[in-house]
Amino acid sequence: MLVSREDLGNFLYCSGLLEEKVARAYEHVSKLVDDRIIGGLLNYIAQDSLKHAGFFKSMAELLFTGLKMGPGDCERAWGSSWRKIVEGAEEILRKNEMGISDLSFLVKDLEKFEGFVAEEYLTIIHAKLIELVASEMGGYLDHFKMILEWIIEDEERHRRILQAVGELIAKKR
């Protein structure tokens, strides 16, 4: 579990890598779909996720400079769920086309991912980061809390956007 500054730095850095990979998958799908509204909604999520990735990576560097993490390290820091999510994103990135039925299935999986992100790992990050920052960098606590709370709100918004995308897809069938 996250017990040290280095552990938290590793977890945050790997979270940044994960967010970046998922963002690239959203971005890719947004370009494959033939519906501009759906594509725009998915691209919105992609851009938010890239922003989250940047924040996590910069927080990781702030907490522990010189992080050198690879996929195996991230799986150890995060658990097997990290690898599964990254593999799912990589599978999406290999697609050259996306039909409505493919998109419908994908949206359901992405909704589960967004729920997992908001409920599981951001809660862990929030609690541990606040604990660490409060003890070591108290002057920055309110700023970190604010950004993390916004990211959690963004993830909930992403879930709702995906529900809307699902409704749009259902109307097209």
Distance between CA atoms of 38 and 45, rounded to whole angstroms?
11
Q: What is the pLDDT of residue 28?
A: 95
- Between the CA of residue 73 and those of 3, 65, 67, 70, 82, what are the distances in Å? 16, 16, 11, 5, 10
DSSP 16-66: HHHHHHHHHHHHHHHHH-S-HHHHHHHHHHHHHHHHHHHHHHHHHHHHSTT
More confident residue, 47 or 149: 47
| Mean of the per-residue pLDDT values of the chain | 81
Predicted TM-score (pTM) of this structure: 0.84
Positive or negative: CA dihedral 113, 29, 48, 17: positive
Q: What is the pLDDT of residue 119?
A: 55
How far, in whole angstroms, is CA 77 from its chain's centroid? 16
* Residue ranges of domains in the chain: 5-172
Judge whether 15 and 56 are in contact, CB under 8 Å. Answer: yes
Q: What is the pLDDT of residue 63?
A: 74
Q: Which of 25-34, 121-130, 144-153 has the highest mean pLDDT?
A: 25-34
CATH architecture of 5-172: Up-down Bundle (1.20)
Judge whether 73 and 14 are in contact, CB under 8 Å. Answer: yes
Res. 32: pLDDT tops 60: yes
